[in-house]
Structure 1
Amino acid sequence: MYNIFDFNMEDLRSWMKNNGESQFRANQVMNWLYKKNQWDFDCMTNIPKSLIEKLKENFYIEIPELIKSYRSKLKDTVKFLYKYRDGNVIETVVMKYKHGNSICVSTQIGCRMGCKFCASTVDGMVRNLSSGEILAQVLKSQSEIGERISNVVLMGSGEPLDNYDNVLKFLNMLNCDYSLNIGQRHITLSTCGIVPRIRQLADENLQITLAISLHSTDDVTRRKIMPIANRYSIGEIMDSCRYYIDKTGRRISFEYALVSGVNDSLQCAENLIGLLKGLLCHVNLIPVNEVRENDFRKSSLNNIKDFYDKLVDNRVEVTIRREMGSDINAACGQLRRSYIESKRYRKGVENGGDLIRCRQSKEAK
C-alpha cells in the first residue's frame, strides 16, 4: 500500500487512469485531503463507493498521531511530538510571529551527520522521512493550531540534503495550488554542507532560501564541531555557495552557533568577515543550545554582542536569532531524545520490577 500524501497530482491522476477511473477524481481526492482536511476515505462524500474501496485497498492516509504538545510560557512557540504508523517519533515546532506562523519540520528520524551541538544526532539516524510524511507535519500542525502556516523551515531533525529526492518532492508539492500553496520564497532549507547536493539543488533553480550551518571559519575547528567537515572543506562549501548564488540569484544565509571559548572571539568575527567578503549573504548568529552529551556552553551576552557589533561595523548583514521555546526543549532533537530516554527508563523499571517479583516469588517458595 502507498501513503497517498507521497503522490502528487500527476501521480494520482496517472493512478486513476491506470485503474479505470476518470482523472478528475484525483482533483476531488486532493481537495478533500488538503483543502477540507478530511483524512478518512469513507468521509469523501462525492467519491463513488467503488472508488472509495479501491483507494482503501491501495492507499493509507499517513497523518502522524499527536503524542504530546508543549507550549512555551510566552505562547510564541508550540512543539509537537508526533508518532508515525511504524512507531517512530519526530518533533515539529510552530513559531508564531507578527508576519505569520512558521513551522520547523523534520526530514529524517534522527540524523547521521554527528554535529556536536545537536541532540538529533546522538542516537544516529533511523530512516528517511518520505515526502508525504514531511508534508503531513505541516497539515497536522495547521489542524492543531487552527491557523494557516505561511513559512516553512527545514531545520528540524535530520539533514535535508541527505534525503534529497524526498525533500525535493516535498518542496514541489508544498508549492502547488492544490496543496498548501506556500510560495518558495517562504521556504528555508538548512544544510550542514553536503557540497554535491548544494550544487544539485542550485541546478533545480528553486527560489527557496538556502541556509548553511557554518559555525566556524577554519577547517580544524569545524571538524571538532561538525564531522561533515572531514569530507568537505570550508573552501569547497564556499565555492558551492557562490555557484548557488550565481544560478539562483538568491541570498544565502549562514548560521553561526556561538560556542563559548570555541568560535566566539573577535578574531573569529574578523575571519568570518573576510570569508564572506563580497558574497550575497546574511549571517544568523545563534546562541548555542546546550546538550547534555557534550560540554559546549553558550557564549556570554557580552561576547555575543561584541561579535555582532564587529560584523555590523564591517557591513555584514547579521541578526541574532531570537530564542524561542527554550522552556519546552524546542531546540532540534531535544524533545524526541527526552521521550526516547523516558521510554527506555520506563522499560528498564518494568523489566527490573519483573526481575524483583520473580526473585521474591522464588524466595517465597
Structure 2
Amino acid sequence: MKDILSLGLDELRDLMLSIEESAFRASQIFNWVYKKRTLSFSEMMNLPKALRGELSGLLYFPPMEVVEKQVSKDGTEKFLWKLEDENQIESVVLRHPRHVTFCISSQVGCPLNCSFCATGAGGFSRNLSTGEIVSQVIHMERAIGGPVDNIVFMGMGEPFLNENSVYKAIDILHDPRGRNLGFRRFTISTAGIPEGIKKLADSGMEIRLSVSLHSAKDVLRSSLMPLNRVHSLDSLREALVYYQQKTGNRITFEYALISGMNDTAGDVAQLIKYLRGIKSFINIIPVNPVNPDFERPSDQKVADFEEGLRAAGFESAARQEKGTDIDAACGQLRQRRRG
C-alpha cells in the first residue's frame, strides 16, 4: 500500500488511471484531503462506494495518534504524536495576533546534538516520510478548526538532512490545486549545512531561510554545535552569500544568548564582522531552560546586545518566546510526555 499523503496530485492521477478510473477522481480526492481536511475514504461521498472500498486497499493515511496535547498560558499548543512504528515526535501551534504558525518536525529526534537543545539530547531514530510531515499539518489544522498561515521547519530534526521529504511535502502543500500555501509561507530552519543552503538557493522556490548561528567564533560555536567542526563558519558564510546573491532574500539568524558565554561586547563585535554585507535579521533568544549549565543573561545584557547590533545598522529583536511553560519553545522539543 502507498501513503496517500506522500503523493502529489499528478502521482494520484497516474494511480487512478492505472486502476482504470478517471483522472478527475484524483482531483476530487485531493480536494477532500487538502481543502476539507478529510482523512478517511469513507467520508468522500462524491466518490462511488466501490471506489472508496478499492482505495482503502491501495492507499493509507499515515497513522498519527495524539499521545498528549498541552496548552500554554499564552495560547501555544504542543502535540506529542505517536507514529506507526511507535516512535514519537512533537509539533507546535504558535498563535499570533494576525496569523497562526505551525512548527513542524522533519526527523524523529536529531543527530546534531547541539548542547542547548533537548531534541538532540534524546538521540536520533530516523527521518520522517513526506506523508508524516504533511500529516502534522493536516492534523493540526483539524485540531484548531482552521487553516495555518505559516509553516516553519523548526521542530525536531535538521530539515536539510531530510531534504527530499521536506521539499516534496512543501510541493504538495504548495500545490494551487490543493492546499495552496505560497512558498513564502514556509521557512526552513537549519543548523548551517552549506550544501543544503546552496540547493535551496538553486531550487527557485521562494522558501524563507533561518540559520541557527549562536556564535561567530569557530571555537565557541563548535562547542555549542558540533556540526561546526565539519562545516566551519567560513564555509557557512560562503553558502549564505551564495544564497543571497541568487535569491536576494533576507536571512534570519537565530542567536541563543547564554550568560557569560556569548553575550559580551566582543561577541557583538564578532557577529557584526561576520554578518557584514549579508542582509539579515537577528532573533536574539535568551536561552531556554534545557541545559543546567547554561543560564539566561539579565534583561540589561539582552538589551545591550540588541542595542550593539542596532547601532551597527543590523535589524534585530529579542524574541518573546511562546510556550516555554510547556517545553514548546526553541530547543525544548524532546519527544516525551511531560512530567
TM above 0.5, one fold? yes
1:150 Cα deviation (Å)?
Answer: 0.4
Query: Are the equivalent residues in 1 in contact too, given 2:158–2:190 (CA < 8 A)?
Result: yes
Counterpart Cα distance in 2 of 1:224 and 1:48? 60
Counterpart Cα distance in 2 of 1:298 and 1:167? 33
Counterpart Cα distance in 2 of 1:277 and 1:334? 31
Instruction: Please name the residue that 1:30 is paired with.
Output: 30
Instruction: Please name the residue that 1:130 is paired with.
Output: 129
Counterpart Cα distance in 2 of 1:91 and 1:104? 9
Query: Are the equivalent residues in 2 in contact too, given 1:259–1:287 (CA < 8 A)?
Result: yes
SS in 2 for 1:256: strand
Counterpart Cα distance in 2 of 1:335 and 1:168? 22
Greater helix share, 1 or 2?
1
SS in 2 for 1:65: strand
| 1:278-293 matches, cutoff 5 A | 278-292=277-291
1:49 Cα deviation (Å)?
Answer: 2.7
Deviations 1:17-45 (A, max 9, x none): 12221111100111111122221112211
Instruction: Please name the residue that 2:259 is paired with.
Output: 260
The letter for the 2-side match of 1:37 is R
Instruction: Please name the residue that 1:357 is paired with.
Output: none
Q: 4+ runs of 1 displaced by more than 3 Å?
A: 332-338
The letter for the 2-side match of 1:224 is S
Aligned residues: 339
SS in 2 for 1:178: coil
The letter for the 2-side match of 1:321 is R
Instruction: Please name the residue that 1:45 is paired with.
Output: 45
Query: Are the equivalent residues in 2 in contact too, given 1:89–1:336 (CA < 8 A)?
Result: no
Deviations 1:196-242 (A, max 9, x none): 11111111021111011111111100110001001011011011001
Counterpart Cα distance in 2 of 1:333 and 1:67? 20
The letter for the 2-side match of 1:13 is R
SS in 1 for 2:162: helix
Deviations 1:283-309 (A, max 9, x none): 1111111214x5122222111111001
Instruction: Please name the residue that 1:16 is paired with.
Output: 16
Counterpart Cα distance in 2 of 1:179 and 1:324? 30
Q: TM-score, normalised by structure 2?
A: 0.96
Instruction: Please name the residue that 2:195 is paired with.
Output: 196
Deviations 1:112-158 (A, max 9, x none): 01111111111211111111211111111111111221011110000
- Aligned identity (percent) is 41
Query: Are the equivalent residues in 1 in contact too, given 2:321–2:329 (CA < 8 A)?
Result: no
Counterpart Cα distance in 2 of 1:74 and 1:203? 38
Instruction: Please name the residue that 1:67 is paired with.
Output: 67
The letter for the 1-side match of 2:177 is Y
Instruction: Please name the residue that 2:220 is paired with.
Output: 221
The letter for the 1-side match of 2:42 is D
Instruction: Please name the residue that 1:354 is paired with.
Output: none
SS in 1 for 2:295: coil
Query: Are the equivalent residues in 2 in contact too, given 1:258–1:287 (CA < 8 A)?
Result: yes
| 1:1-365 matches, cutoff 5 A | 1-62=1-62, 64-75=64-75, 77-292=76-291, 295-332=293-330, 334=332, 336-339=334-337
Counterpart Cα distance in 2 of 1:113 and 1:250? 26
Counterpart Cα distance in 2 of 1:37 and 1:125? 30
The letter for the 2-side match of 1:52 is R
Deviations 1:176-200 (A, max 9, x none): 1233222111211100011111111
Bigger Cα displacement from structure 2, 302-311 vs 122-131: 122-131
1:173 Cα deviation (Å)?
Answer: 1.4
Bigger Cα displacement from structure 2, 78-87 vs 212-221: 78-87
Query: Are the equivalent residues in 1 in contact too, given 2:290–2:331 (CA < 8 A)?
Result: no
CA RMSD of aligned residues (A): 1.5
1:319 Cα deviation (Å)?
Answer: 1.3
Query: Are the equivalent residues in 2 in contact too, given 1:206–1:248 (CA < 8 A)?
Result: no
Counterpart Cα distance in 2 of 1:331 and 1:109? 17
Counterpart Cα distance in 2 of 1:332 and 1:165? 24
The letter for the 2-side match of 1:234 is L
SS in 1 for 2:284: strand
Bigger Cα displacement from structure 2, 35-44 vs 234-243: 35-44
For structure 2, the 5+ residue unaligned runs are none
Query: Are the equivalent residues in 1 in contact too, given 2:288–2:332 (CA < 8 A)?
Result: no
For structure 1, the 5+ residue unaligned runs are 343-365
